[in-house]
Amino acid sequence: MAYKTPGVYIKEVALFPPSVAQVETAVPAFVGYTEKAADPNGKSLAGVPARIKSLVEFQSLFGGEYVPTSYKVVVESAAANSLVSVAPDKRFYLFDALRQFYDNGGGNCYIVSVGSYDEAIDFDSLKGGLDRLKKVDEPTLLLSPDAVGLRDSLDKPDLAGFTDLQKELLTQCATLQDRFAILDILEGQLAEDVSNKPISNFRDTIGINNLSYGAAYYPWIVTSYSYDISFRQLHFYDKSDLLTEILNYIPYARNDAEKGLVSALAVNLADTNATINITDSSLNKTRLLREGISHLKGLLSGYQAKIAANTALVTNMTAYLNLLAGIVLSFKNAESQSLAGSGYRKEIDSIKSDAALVAAIVALVAVEKNPKTVANTVSTRTDTVVAALYKPLETDWLGGKTVATVLADATAFTANSAGCLSIINKLAGSVTTILDAYQRLLDAALHFEVEAEEAVFAGHLFFGGVRDKIVEYLRTIPPSGSVAGIYSAVDYSRGVWKAPANVSINSIVGPAVKIDSRDQEDLNVHTTGKSVNAIRAFTGKGTLVWGARTLAGNDNEWRYVPVRRFFIMVEESTKKASEPFVFESNDANTWVKVRAMIENFLILQWRAGALQGAKPNEAFYVRVGLNETMTAQDILEGYMIIEIGMAVVRPAEFIILRFSHKMLSGG
């Protein structure tokens, strides 16, 4: 500053060094498949790393869990229909892993949705989502629970693809040096034995690179989450011929009520495809019962939109009217199949007594009988076909009339788009009334179906066993999400330097495979040097994470998870704090500030218990300076080299109590 005018000048001199702000240590990134991926404004989040802070926020952005359309239940008919296996049509793990993350203390995390539930789990998609995380700085943990669902060309677990993805996780962690991988074991729900080799396969294929940047956990866990299983989802097959469906519910029904349930609900009530031969594949029983009339309204609106756009008028007009016919015929079908005196029949009788509904059905038949309406439909839909279509409704669903005595509507509809829209407008009031009544029918069907299904599952040994087996299958998931939650909880309550072990897992029944101390010997210490952390059930304690080793189990420097993660935290924190010194003068003044800044940060870590030593100089050192960490040539080339050494605390993995006999002394 040039002083030219006489006076008093103030110049502030910065003496205090800047501080090091500790980076977050437990911000996992989940890579996998979700129901949807869109923000509240409808903008796609597919492939975009999105930061969330709760399961509720996840559900608003990415949807809920996958609900299987069907389950393949394999039985052996030659052995009294004994249960062999169960499997859903698809299985995705990210949602349940995220539930476990939050149930076990998780907080902020990132989600990378690489596809929807309509797709199959794919290696390239998962790798693409993982690559997206390279440019995001905040994540400190990487995991991909859906990777265990990779399948090969023979529909077997894809060990090669799974291992390649695990290697990608480790490589990214080692390259960026600011994150750590939590790895699952493929088929970790199976015990290691002569037939199954989940641990051996993992060790044989994972390689030897970057092992200190990840930890693996075994076995999988069985959660306590509940799942609704409907009989309509079950498809039974004989072990000897998996292409032939051999079982259905009727032979196993114990009474007429159960038989009526299936024949009325699972066949006639919702299966309007079979009734009126609609070719629209989106109309199916599962969607109809799950989504109710909103699904039907969507179909009707779709036909109307095509008609308004003058697209395939005859085809879409026919489909529109056929759908309405199928809906009103379902009232009669449900009545015919339900048992007299049952609660379901009483609800149907109540619907039938609704004068507004009967009038709406009569109005629909009247419009259908209009020759101008027939002229706007396919040529095969003649007056005779229309009359036969509605004949089952005579006479109680038509207010005592027959189809022949219902007067045809006299409106003069034209054979064009405007005429078709006139038909739709004419029916608007009737459609609303019919759909409202149909929703009542669906609600009643669901109520009595669930009631009857519960009785069947609870009282029938075979079907009860099928449901229990399916629920157990769905509850069994890889443990990476649970472990990520434990990392987060331990980091928050103690610190990243505390081993995330000897901690119970919440919301689970137990491990999928029970292991003991002898089993764990080969997991913890193995000739390959690759440690796998055990999840074990202890009497009176519950299920605990009983290991804290990285995959580099023989590495004395990086053997333990908390040591590697603490170094990652310090490295990343000091790196960010040192960035303001880039292009500062490379002299003693700067060196003193940098050293003081880092020493102050490490003193706080020492006081928190992260570093060993009775005094700070026993716990760490920070060196920087000419002839100490740099040569004159280094300074000329612009290098400021800082050397940091830390005596990080290590977990007491083996506590040895020594006992000996003491001789009685005289006296």
pLDDT band at 488 (very low <50, low <70, confident <90, very high): very high
Task: Name which residue leads in pLDDT, 663 or 157.
Answer: 157
Nearest to 128 by CA among 33, 246, 264, 250: 33
pLDDT band at 298 (very low <50, low <70, confident <90, very high): confident
**Percent of the chain predicted with pLDDT > 70:** 91
pLDDT band at 636 (very low <50, low <70, confident <90, very high): very high
Q: Which pLDDT score, from 0 to 100, does residue 289 have?
A: 57
Q: Is the pLDDT of residue 276 over 80?
A: no
Q: Is the pLDDT of residue 258 over 60?
A: no
Q: Which of 87-91, 308-312, 452-456 has the lowest mean pLDDT?
A: 452-456
Q: What is the mean pLDDT of residues 77-99?
A: 88
Q: Which pLDDT score, from 0 to 100, does residue 280 have?
A: 38
CA separation for the pair 117, 125 (Å, rounded): 13
How is the chain split into domains, by residue range?
1-21+586-667, 28-60+87-226+476-494+501-547, 255-455
The HSE-up count of residue 548 (CA atoms within 13 Å, CB side) is 23
Q: What is the mean pLDDT of residues 632-655?
A: 89
Q: Which of 453-467, 495-509, 563-577 has the lowest mean pLDDT?
A: 453-467
Q: Is the pLDDT of residue 98 over 80?
A: yes
Task: Name which residue leads in pLDDT, 295 or 289.
Answer: 295
CA separation for the pair 552, 180 (Å, rounded): 13
CA separation for the pair 420, 306 (Å, rounded): 11
pTM, two decimals, is 0.76
pLDDT digits (tens, 9 = 90+) for 370-410: 999 999 999 888 889 999 999 999 988 999 999 999 999 99
Instruction: Dump the DSSP string for 568-626.
Output: HHHHHHHHHHHGGGTTS--SHHHHHHHHHHHHHHHHHHHHHT-B-SSSHHHHEEEEESB
Burial of 240 (0-12, 13-18, 19+ CB in 10 A): exposed
Residue 482 dihedral angles phi and psi, to the nearest 5°: -60, -45
Place of tokens 């308004």: 308
Residues in CB range of 588: below 8 A, 6 or more apart: 625, 626
pLDDT band at 266 (very low <50, low <70, confident <90, very high): very low
Task: Name which residue leads in pLDDT, 459 or 169.
Answer: 169
Nearest to 614 by CA among 584, 641, 583, 647: 647
Q: Is the pLDDT of residue 262 over 80?
A: no
* The pairing of beta strand 620-624 with beta strand 542-546: unpaired
Q: Which pLDDT score, from 0 to 100, does residue 250 have?
A: 37
Task: Name which residue leads in pLDDT, 33 or 657.
Answer: 33
| Start-to-end CA span in the chain (Å) | 87
Longest dimension (CA), the chain: 125
Q: Which pLDDT score, from 0 to 100, does residue 264 have?
A: 41
Task: Name which residue leads in pLDDT, 340 or 593.
Answer: 593
Long-range contacts (CB closer than 8 Å, 24 or more residues apart) made by 555-561: 555/211, 555/212, 555/529, 557/212, 558/212, 559/531, 560/499, 560/650, 560/651, 560/653, 561/180, 561/215, 561/499, 561/500
Q: Which pLDDT score, from 0 to 100, does residue 272 have?
A: 36
Place of tokens 């779709």: 302
* Residue spans of beta strands (DSSP E) within 104-233: 109-113, 141-143, 180-183, 214-218, 221-223
Q: What is the mean pLDDT of residues 253-266?
A: 41
- What residues are paired with 626 via a beta bridge? 630
pLDDT digits (tens, 9 = 90+) for 586-634: 999 899 999 999 999 999 999 999 999 999 999 999 999 999 999 999 9
SS3 content of the chain, % helix, strand, coil (to 5): 45, 15, 40
CATH topology of domain 28-60+87-226+476-494+501-547: Rossmann fold (3.40.50)
Q: Which of 7-11, 117-121, 641-645 has the lowest mean pLDDT?
A: 7-11
Angle between helical axes of 417-459 and 355-369 (0-180°, round to 10): 130
Q: Is the pLDDT of residue 47 over 90?
A: yes
Q: Which pLDDT score, from 0 to 100, does residue 240 have?
A: 65
pLDDT digits (tens, 9 = 90+) for 191-249: 999 999 999 999 999 999 999 999 999 999 999 999 988 877 888 887 765 444 444 44
Query: What's the whole-number average pLDDT of the chain?
Result: 87
Q: Which pLDDT score, from 0 to 100, does residue 531 have?
A: 95
Report the length, in residues, of the chain: 667
Q: Is the pLDDT of residue 665 over 70?
A: yes
Nearest to 38 by CA among 70, 62, 72: 62
Task: Name which residue leads in pLDDT, 663 or 575.
Answer: 575
Q: Is the pLDDT of residue 355 over 60?
A: yes
* The pairing of beta strand 28-32 with beta strand 109-113: parallel
